[in-house]
Amino acid sequence: MKELFPVEPMRSSLLDKLWDLQNNNRYISDSDISHLAAELNISAVEVEGVVSFYHFFHRKPSGKYTIYIDDSIIARYKGYHRIVEAFERETGATLGSVDRTGTFGLFSTPCIGLSDQAPAVLINFRPFTQLNVIKVKELVQQLRNGVDIDQMYHPPVSNVCTTIYSKKNIFFNSYTPGKAVKELTKHTSDDILSLLRDTNLSGRGGAFYPTWKKWEACRSYTADYKFIVCNADEGEPGTFKDRVLLQELPGLLIEGMIISGFTVNAQYGIIYLRGEYWWLYDQLQKTIDEFYKLGLLGKDIVGITGFNFDVRIQMGAGAYVCGEETAMLESMEGHRGEPRTKWFYPVEKGYLKSPTIINNVETICAAARIVELGVNEYNKTGLPGSPGTKLISVSGDCQNPGVYEIPWGITVAELLELCVAVDPYYIQVSGPSGECISINEKFRRISMLDLLGLPDLRCGGSFMIFNKEREIIDILLNFASFFKKESCGICTPCRAGNFIIERKLEKLKNKLARQSDIDDMISWGHIIKTTSRCGLGKTSCNSLVMAMQKFGGYFDKLIDKKEDSLMVGFNIEEAVADYEQYKS
Amino acid sequence: MEKMVNIKIDGKLLTVPDGQNLVNAAKDNGIFIPSLCYFEHIEPPLGTCRTCTCKLDGKYQPACTMKVHDGMTVEVNTPELLDMRKSLVEMMFSEGNHFCPSCEKSGNCDLQHMAYELGISVTRFEHLFKDRMIDYGSKRIIMEHNRCIKCKRCVEDVVTDDGKKVFTYQGRGNETFVGIDYKEEPKLSEQQAIAAMELCPTGAIIVRGVSMAHPFGEREFDINSEQKNFTRRFPKSHKPAGMEKKVLATASLAGCFGCHMSMLDIDLELLDLVELVTFNKSPLTDIKKFTGRCHIGLIEGGVCNDENIETLKEFRKMCDILVSVGECAVWGGLPAMRNTIPLSECLEEAYLNCVTSEEGANLVPYHEDLPKILDKIYACHDIVKIDHFIPGCPPSANHIWKSVKHLLWGEEYSILYSEFKYD
Ligand SMILES: Cc1cc2nc3c(=O)[nH]c(=O)nc-3n(C[C@H](O)[C@H](O)[C@H](O)COP(=O)(O)O)c2cc1C
Ligand code: SF4
Ligand code: SF4
Ligand code: SF4
Ligand code: FES
């Protein structure tokens, strides 16, 4: 098992312990639960509560080979159903269960961060991508024949796309380990903060909060120890830019964390890596080990006396909401990943009630590049007020899906051209929690600027492209069911509201809805947004509401307008179908 | 002396102790902010139910997680916020399976009480009827998961003397429920167990043998409102002068005739009423077919078969105003207890496997002439447009006739707190 930092209590190792059990025994047994409870001196029901929160932990054997099939909307359009069928046929397991011999467990899971290579699955957390029915057959055959899975598996390609803008790349450019960190010998923490301020670096996890403000606030608190947490949970369906950064530039990320630690006077760094990215673990750990050897981690880093910084990896276990920063802290502390109230902010009382910075992978990498390049060089790219580049994960109906590094300021149309989009019609920007745009908005600029009247598109990191053949209602239903399952379940509007919305959308899909149902959804979306505790509930209905406003013509076709206004849409055949079975 | 600060609630200037919880500060000054999960001594506040959402300095925030500070401006009773809070409580009813008439907690239930205070007669949301279990696994405490609103009070507050949690959430999303630890629960003293039941704002935690101690109808929330001006008044509306005679029709669908009995329960007033109305199609007159248009139709019972659908549609066509009377008509009521169970299981239990069914019974009745049973009980407004809803199981006679008079002749009326009930 991995070591904790000396300041961390044993409870913080709960997720790791559960992972060990899950990986070794393929499930977590009742006796495991009682042992853990005794060890941590908590009740068994509390351990169970944690186990049941994360969908990669199983309470029943999950098969010698546990197969997770990506069921994101992109995967659904790239053959999810065929793949499920093929796996069911070949393994003898039905989706959601294990075959009779206990060899194969077949489960579906939300986006696994490989939408550019859909359809894809994880088998014992190793990805197999761009599958088709024949490949599935071969895979299962080989596993049955006892071929070592590690021999069959090749890490997926990273898919960084080269474009006319690539010469301006900031991230995907040459990288020398230690180059950024060595700059620290020339800087004070004030310098770093001004570098970040002058380059307008803001949170790439989607909220665009100015990074320097967060760091400055954290610096202002005195505490025995502080933490830098890298948010590598990348759970937003359709997003995979952080995966590619972790694949291509793990060193740059660690440097950014070291710089952050230097600036706010933190001693410990934790990378919270989503369970779907186990396959990136070894390389990331190797990079950390090398950094220790190079004197870039550990004590007196790059010769700065008293500057000590350590980094470890924490594996997540399948819960989108743990990407929310306070839920992540709860999860790291060995609890259920329920977001906290705003009673305290993490910069004051975060992980273990100590001041904590949480930043996205891309934000941290950008900070490292800014220190390495300096303000002038960095600001040469992009727009005034929105300098630099942005990584965008592009997937869906286009010829060249992958990660695009683009200067801030290009338009949607340009990006669609770069990836050779095919008949784009509906585009989901920044994932289900982001916004949807119609092709009519293709001349909008992608930047951080929010000029009144003409707001630019602030893209958090993904573009899912859908052509005119795709049913918008299916897209929205996929999102609604995602939020319904991924809500942490503690606040009413998000837990119950997303469930209610899903039902209403089903009604709409079944052509039983009226205009008033659409109006209801818009108004309920507003209620869920305003009353939910955390970002998940606050954003879950964004796309739905926008879609209904932007694609009115499409929804008009789904609702039935002729019906008598005194009657409500009701399908009597369906309602009596169960009873009709008794007709002899 | 504690420091005092000035805050403004709905334009009213108040002086309150600095840092006081906003819900309390408001309450001390006679301003009612609905709250369900808030429990004074749990800190930080749970902030789970969101029913206390207000606008604080222009931002939507749950009041229970806010401390007052000088110059704070709070909006509590704007139409938007009132509606938003109401909708949150409605969500809890549509999410859980709340059968108040058969609930041990009825009358002592914070959730029910809050819905009374907010005047909820029907939820705008479809009832979800998610199948939930009742956990009889512990010797003393029963967990009735159908009623839990996930307020988190029990999770945070009920611990054994050696500091272990007895309740913890399990699962996630819409599957979240409160798990109870069978090994820790017996370690609670009888008093602690009863305290857990009392701390639960709903009837989800039930201690065997002690939950029915106090009679229904005389319980904490049965009689008086927390709000000074609870009574909901319906002002006189513009209707033609004079009490011209009106035509009424009534029907009982999937109901028990209790609502019809309640209609007769106005004693002597009934005599006045007959002067004013004539009954058309109704079990009270035994008129089976409509003989003409009616001014108002009163529907008791939900919709359980295709015949109910026909009747209801006919009523909709023949009546100017259609009213759902009673819990069953409003959302399904007690018969909807079957809604979480597949129809085949219900029928097979009733006709094939139950103790009173005949030896060798192997047939579920099915005949062209028999009404076809629906997969679940539907509310009347799932089938036709309903204009007015009167809750209660049954609703009080006063509530029914006051509403009817208002709808027919525009008479002013007011519903007292004690007349507004779900059980
Ligand atoms: C439900 C939810 C999921 C989130 N998932 C992620 C995520 O996977 N990765 C991420 O970087 N930020 C995620 N965030 C945003 C984080 O809460 C937080 O704002 C971010 O990590 C801060 O880093 P930044 O300022 O560098 O963007 C999520 C937020 C919510 C509400
Ligand atoms: S909004 Fe959803 S995810 Fe966030 S706290 Fe509430 S229930 Fe949990
Ligand atoms: S009394 Fe309360 S807990 Fe019981 S059914 Fe009614 S609302 Fe639910
Ligand atoms: S059981 Fe009762 S106290 Fe516990 S969360 Fe549910 S409603 Fe709240
Ligand atoms: S009372 Fe404030 S959130 Fe529940």
Mean pLDDT of all residues belonging to chain B = 93
Tell me the average pLDDT across B293-298. 96
Q: Which of A204-208, B37-41, B49-53, B214-218 has the lowest mean pLDDT?
A: B214-218
pTM of the prediction? 0.95
B295-324: burial string, b at 16+ Cβ within 10 Å, e else: bbbbbbbbbbbbebbebbbbbbebbeebbb
Q: Which of A570, A577, A582 sits opposite B366 (nearest CB)?
A: A582
Q: Is A582 on the interface with B (CB under 8 A)?
A: yes
Q: Which of B50, B125, B306 sits opposite A531 (nearest CB)?
A: B50
Q: Where are the beta strands (DSSP E) in B118-228?
A: 134-135, 141-144, 167-170, 177-180, 205-207
Give me ligand 1 centre to Cα A228, in Å. 14
Domain assignment of residue A484, yes or no: yes
Q: In this structure, which ligand is nearest to the CA of A341?
A: 2
In this prediction, residue B41 carries a pLDDT of 87
For A548, the domain range is 472-558
> pLDDT over 70 for what percent of chain A?
99
Domain assignment of residue A580, yes or no: no
Q: How far apart are CA B309 and CA B303, in angstroms?
A: 7
Domain C-terminal end among A324, A348, A379: A379
Give me ligand 1 centre to Cα A360, in Å. 7
Residue whose CA is at the smallest distance from ligand 3 atom 8: B98
- Give the rounded distance of the alpha carbon of A485 from its chain centre: 15
Instruction: Please report, for residues A199, A345, A389, B244, B335, the alpha-carbon distance to residue A168 in angstroms, rounded to integers and kept in the order given.
Output: 16, 36, 8, 84, 68
- pLDDT tens figures, B301-324: 999 999 999 999 999 999 999 999
Q: Which of A496, A566, A577 sits opposite B95 (nearest CB)?
A: A496
Q: Is A110 on the interface with B (CB under 8 A)?
A: no
User: Could you tell me if A173 and A131 lie in one domain?
Assistant: no
Domain C-terminal end among A100, A125, A157: A157
In this prediction, residue B240 carries a pLDDT of 60
Domain assignment of residue A292, yes or no: yes
**Which of residues B242 and A278 earns the better pLDDT score?**
A278
| CA of A561 vs chain B CAs: smallest distance (Å) | 15
Q: Which helix (H) or strand (E) holds A392?
A: strand A389-396
User: Could you tell me if A280 and A373 lie in one domain?
Assistant: yes
User: Could you tell me if A54 and A131 lie in one domain?
Assistant: yes
Q: Which residue of A has its CA nearest to B126?
A: A500
Q: In this structure, which ligand is nearest to the CA of A235?
A: 1
- pLDDT tens figures, A560-582: 777 678 899 899 999 999 999 99
Write down the ipTM of this complex: 0.94
The pLDDT-based confidence of A416 (bands split at 50, 70, 90) is very high
Answer yes or no: do A490 and B152 touch at CB < 8 A: yes
Q: In this structure, which ligand is nearest to the CA of B222?
A: 3
Answer yes or no: do A567 and B172 touch at CB < 8 A: no
CB of A468 closer than 8 Å to CB of A434: no
Answer yes or no: do B169 and A49 touch at CB < 8 A: yes
Q: How far apart are CA A437 and CA A269, in angstroms?
A: 38
* pLDDT surpasses 80 at B243: no
User: Could you tell me if A208 and A317 lie in one domain?
Assistant: yes
Give me ligand 5 centre to Cα B44, in Å. 12
- pLDDT tens figures, A417-429: 999 999 999 999 9
- pLDDT tens figures, A289-348: 999 999 999 999 999 999 999 999 999 999 999 999 999 999 999 999 999 998 889 999
**Which of residues A564 and B293 earns the better pLDDT score?**
B293
Domain assignment of residue A579, yes or no: no
User: Could you tell me if A364 and A409 lie in one domain?
Assistant: no
In this prediction, residue A342 carries a pLDDT of 84
Domains, chain B, in order of start with CATH, read 4-77 (3.10.20.740), 86-207 (3.30.70.20), 231-419 (3.40.50.700)
Answer yes or no: do A43 and B166 touch at CB < 8 A: yes
Amino acid letter, residue B290: F
Which residue in B23, B91, B378 has the most chain A C-beta atoms within 10 A of its own C-beta, making it the best mutation to test that interface?
B91
Q: In this structure, which ligand is nearest to the CA of B148?
A: 4
Q: Which of B166, B363, B384 sits opposite A566 (nearest CB)?
A: B384
Contacts of B344 in chain A (CB under 8 A): 578, 581
The pLDDT-based confidence of B212 (bands split at 50, 70, 90) is confident
**Which of residues B268 and A502 earns the better pLDDT score?**
A502
In this prediction, residue B362 carries a pLDDT of 79
Is any ligand 4 atom within 6 A of the Cβ of residue B120? no
**Which of B50, B88, B113 gets mutated to test ligand 5 (max ligand atoms within 8 A of its CB)?**
B50
In this prediction, residue B241 carries a pLDDT of 59
> Which sign, positive or negative, has the C-alpha torsion A498, A499, A502, A508?
negative
Domain assignment of residue A11, yes or no: yes
> Residue ranges of the alpha helices (H) in A3-62?
14-25, 30-40, 44-53
User: Could you tell me if A546 and A458 lie in one domain?
Assistant: no
Q: Which residue of B has its CA nearest to A492?
A: B49
CATH number at residue A266: 3.40.50.11540
Q: Is A485 on the interface with B (CB under 8 A)?
A: yes
Closest CA to A392 of A164, A116, A137: A116
In this prediction, residue A564 carries a pLDDT of 73
CATH number at residue A2: 3.40.30.10
Domain assignment of residue A568, yes or no: no
Q: Which of A41, A500, A533 sits opposite B125 (nearest CB)?
A: A500
Answer yes or no: do B174 and A498 touch at CB < 8 A: yes
In this prediction, residue A220 carries a pLDDT of 98
Domain assignment of residue A583, yes or no: no
Phi and psi angles of residue B387, each rounded to the nearest 5 degrees, phi first: -90, -25
Q: Which helix (H) or strand (E) holds B373?
A: strand B373-378
User: Could you tell me if A109 and A231 lie in one domain?
Assistant: no
Domain assignment of residue A572, yes or no: no
User: Could you tell me if A242 and A358 lie in one domain?
Assistant: yes
Which residue in B21, B39, B50 has the most chain A C-beta atoms within 10 A of its own C-beta, making it the best mutation to test that interface?
B50
Q: How far apart are CA B46 and CA B174, in angstroms?
A: 19
Contacts of A500 in chain B (CB under 8 A): 91, 94-95, 125-126, 128
Domain C-terminal end among A334, A353, A379: A379
**Which of A360, A479, A488, A538 gets mutated to test ligand 1 (max ligand atoms within 8 A of its CB)?**
A360
User: Could you tell me if A51 and A101 lie in one domain?
Assistant: yes
User: Could you tell me if A189 and A284 lie in one domain?
Assistant: yes
- Give the rounded distance of the alpha carbon of B209 from its chain centre: 25
| CA of B421 vs chain A CAs: smallest distance (Å) | 23
CATH number at residue A442: 3.10.20.600
What total number of domains does chain A contain?
4
Tell me the average pLDDT across B191-212. 93
- pLDDT tens figures, A75-111: 999 999 999 999 999 999 999 999 999 999 999 999 9
Q: How far apart are CA B419 and CA B390, in angstroms?
A: 11
Give me ligand 5 centre to Cα B228, in Å. 22
Answer yes or no: do B181 and A44 touch at CB < 8 A: yes
Phi and psi angles of residue A514, each rounded to the nearest 5 degrees, phi first: -115, 175
Q: What is chain B's Cα-based Rg?
A: 24
- Point out the ligand 3 atom lying closest to the alpha carbon of residue B98: 5
In this prediction, residue A535 carries a pLDDT of 97
- pLDDT tens figures, B79-119: 999 999 999 999 999 999 999 999 999 999 999 999 999 99
The pLDDT-based confidence of A452 (bands split at 50, 70, 90) is low
Is any ligand 2 atom within 6 A of the Cβ of residue A489? yes
User: Could you tell me if A425 and A326 lie in one domain?
Assistant: no
Instruction: Please report, for residues A31, A337, A403, the alpha-carbon distance to residue A21 in angstroms, rounded to integers and kept in the order given.
Output: 11, 20, 35
User: Could you tell me if A132 and A180 lie in one domain?
Assistant: no
